[in-house]
Structure 1
Amino acid sequence: MNLGQFLVLQFIAHVLADFFFQTDRLAIQKNELGFRSPFLKWHILIVFLFSWGLSFQTRFVYGALIIALTHFMIDGSKPWISKNRIIGRYSFFIDQALHVLMLVSVTVAYAYYAELDAWVNIPIGIKGLIGVFAYLLCLKPANIFIKEMFRAYQISVPGTDDLPNAGKLIGVLERVLVLTFILLKQFEAVGFLIAAKSILRYKNDDTIKTEYVLIGTMLSFGIAVLLGLLIGFV
C-alpha cells in the first residue's frame, strides 16, 4: 500500500461514516445539540471503526483514535458555529474542511513516521479507489453539498409542491450517468443528457423556480464533470 491508496481509503471511510451511516434526522439532532446529542458518541464510534478498518493496518488504531476524537470536538462545537451571524450559513463547509484537514494531517504524519504495512493486499490501484470515492460522492454527499450551497446563498423556493425525494433521485441519476459517460469518454452522451434535462420547463411566471432548478442542475453536473476529470488526470 502506498500513501495515495492509504489517503483515498481514509477519504472513503470519512464519506461512509459522515454521510451514509447517519440518517438526516440524526444528523440534524447532532448538529443542533452538539456535545449533548446522544447520537454523537455512536457517530464517533462509527468514524473510528471505519477509519481503522479501512486503513488495513493494526498500528493505525492510534491514528484512527485521533481522527475520531478530533471529529468529536468538531461536531460537538458545530452548534456554536451554526449560530454565528457571520459564518453560520457556512457551517457545513467549515465542518467538512476541518475534518479533511485533520484526516490528511494524521494520515500523512502516520505514513511519514511509520511504515505502511497493510495486513491484506489491496487489489485496487489508486485510480480505482478514486473512482469508488467519486461514485460515493455522487450519491448522498453531493445532494447535501448542493442543499448547503443553497443555504449559504440563501436560495429557496417557497410554495413548491414537488416531491423532495424525486429531485434527489434525479440528481443522483444524472451525476452517476455523467461520471460514467466521462470515464467511458462518451462526451456526446453527456451533451445529450444535458439537452434532455433542458426539456424540463416551467411556466413563464415561475422564474424563481426555474432559476432554482438551473442552479441545482449546474452544480450537479459540475460535481460529476470535475470528479470525472480528476480520475482522468490520475
Structure 2
Amino acid sequence: MGIKELLLLQFIAHLCLDYFFQTNKLAKQKNTIGFKSSFLYWHALMCFVLSWLFSLQVEFVWAAAIITITHFLIDGFKLHLNNSKYLGRYAFFIDQALHLIILTVVVLLFDKWQGINPYVNTFIEFKYLLIIAGYMVCLKPANIFIREVFKATDIQVSSDNEMPNAGKVIGVLERILTLTFIIVSQYSAVGFLIAAKSILRYRNDETLKTEYVLIGTMLSFGIAVIVGIIINLFLFI
C-alpha cells in the first residue's frame, strides 16, 4: 500500500463518516447548535475510529487524532459559518473543502515523517479503491451536493405532484448507470439515458419545473461523468 491508497482510504472513511453514518436530522442538529450537540462528540469519536481503522496501521493513531480534532472544531464552528450573511449559503462547500484539505495534508505529512507500513497486506489495487469511492460519491454525497447547489443559488420549485424522495432515487439510479456505462466505455448508452429521461420528465405546462429538473439532471449526470472520466484516467495509466 502506497500513499495513493492511504489517501483514498481516508477519503472513503470521510464519505462514510459525513454521509453514510449520519442522518440528515442529526447533521442538521450538529450544524444548528454546534458544540452543544451531543451527536457532535459521537461524530468525532467515529471520525477517529474510521480514520485509524482505514489507515491499516497502528502508527497512524496520531494522524487520526489530528484529523479528528480538526474535524471536530470545523463542525463545531460551522454554526457561525451557517449564520454568516455572506458565506452562510456556501457553508457546506467550505466545510467539505477544509476537511479534505486537512485530510490530504495530514496523510502527506504522515508519509513524509512516519512512512506507510500497514499491518495488513491489502491486495486491493488503487484503481479498484477508486471505483468503490466513485460509486460511493454517486450515492448520497451527490444528492446532498446537488441540494446544496440549489440552496446556494436560491433555486426553489415546489410541486404537489411528486412522490417524496422520488427525485433522489432517480438521481442515484441515473448516476450509477452513467458511471457504469462510462467505465465500460459505452458512451452511446449515456446519451440514450439522458434522452430517455428528458422525454419522460419534460412537460410544456410547467416551465419552471422543467428548468429545475434540467438543472438537477445536468448536475447529476455531470457528477457521474466527471467521476467516470477520473476513474478511466487511472484505469488506463
1:216 aligns with 216
Q: Cα deviations across residues 170-198 of structure 1 (Å, max 9, x unaligned)?
A: 00000000000000001111111111111
Per-residue deviation, residues 73-127 of structure 1 (Å, max 9, x unmatched): 0000011001111010000000000101110010110011112000111111111
Q: Secondary structure at the match of 2:115?
A: coil
Q: Which amino acid aligns with 1:165?
A: N
Partner of 1:141: 141
Does 2:7 match 1:31? no
Instruction: Give the Å deviation of 1:148.
Output: 0.1
Question: In 2, distance between residues paired with 1:50 and 1:21?
Answer: 11
> By how many angstroms is 1:202 displaced?
4.5
What corresponds to 2:111 in structure 1? 111
Q: Tell me which amino acid in the other structure corresponds to 2:174.
A: E
Runs of 4+ in 1 over 3 A off after TM superposition: none
State the secondary structure of the residue aligned to 2:200.
coil
2:194 maps to: 194
Partner letter of residue 15 of structure 2?
V
Stretches of structure 2 that go unaligned for 5 or more consecutive residues are: none
TM-score, normalisation: structure 2: 0.96
Q: Secondary structure at the match of 1:199?
A: helix
- Cα offset for 1:163? 2.3
Q: Distance in 1 between matches of 2:107 and 2:120?
A: 18
Identity %: 55
**Which stretches in structure 1 are left out of the alignment for 5+ residues?**
none
TM-fit CA distance, 1:33: 0.7
Q: In the aligned structure 2, how far is the partner of 1:159 from the partner of 1:225? A: 28
Match of 1:14 in 2: 14
- Give the letter for the 1:117 counterpart: N
Q: 1:169 aligns to what? A: 169
Per the alignment, residue 97 of structure 1 pairs with 97
Give the Cα separation in 2 of the matches to 1:188 and 1:10.
34
Question: Where does residue 122 of structure 1 map in the other structure?
Answer: 122
- Whole-Å separation in 2 of the counterparts to 1:203 and 1:183: 32
- Name the CA distance, whole Å, in 2 between partners of 1:46 and 1:212: 36
Equivalents in 1 of 2:164, 2:109: separation in Å? Answer: 42
TM-score (norm 1): 0.98
What is the one-letter code of the residue matched to 2:194? I
**Match of residue 231 from structure 2:** 231
Quote the Cα distance in structure 1 between the aligned partners of 2:65 and 2:201.
50
Deviation of residue 203 (structure 1)?
A: 3.9
| Aligned mates of 2:141, 2:160 — CA distance in 1 | 23
> 1: CA distance between counterparts of 2:225 and 2:161?
30
**More displaced, 120-129 or 214-223?**
120-129
Paired AA for residue 172 in structure 2: V
SS of the residue 2:165 aligns to: helix
Q: Hey, what's the Cα distance between the residues in 2 that align with 1:163 and 1:35?
A: 36
Secondary structure at 2:34 match in 1: helix
Q: Deviation digits for residues 123-156 of structure 1, max 9, x if unmatched?
A: 1111111111000000000000000000000000
Segment drifting more, 51-60 vs 155-164: 155-164
Q: Tell me what 1:151 maps to.
A: 151
Which letter maps to 1:46? M
Specify the alignment match of 1:58 in structure 2: 58
CA–CA distance in 2 between the matches of 1:31 and 1:60?
A: 28
